[in-house]
Amino acid sequence: MAKTKLNRTAKLAFYNARERKDDNKRLAETTGLSVRFINYVKNGERKVNDTLADAMYTLARRRVKNSAVSAS
């Protein structure tokens, strides 16, 4: 079975489940976008572009979900 890529919305959901403090600043430095734009994307006011979606996924891919951290 072939692997399928996550779409931009799925990457945003993946990131939101694993978000940490100061991630917006790190994403802004990585992508060259403003922190304000990243906040707009997370609040659903702007669409996720591919660059930001990839950076979000890369930043959070090895993290545990926030719900799993608070449960233990």
Does the pLDDT of residue 72 top 70, yes or no?
no
- How many domains in the chain? 1
Averaged over 59-71, what is the pLDDT?
83
pLDDT, mean over the chain: 90
**Domain span at 40:** 8-63
Is residue 68 scored above 80 in pLDDT?
no
Dist. CA 32–CA 44, nearest whole Å = 20
For the whole model, what pTM was predicted?
Answer: 0.83
- How far is C-alpha 66 from the chain's CA centre? 13
13 and 53 in contact (C-beta within 8 Å)? no
Q: Is residue 3 part of a domain?
A: no
Report yes or no on 2 lying in a domain: no
Residue 43's pLDDT is 93
Chain-centre distance for alpha carbon 30: 12
Nearest alpha-carbon partner for 15 in 49, 45, 58: 58
**Would you say residue 1 lies in a domain?**
no
Is residue 33 domain-resident?
Answer: yes
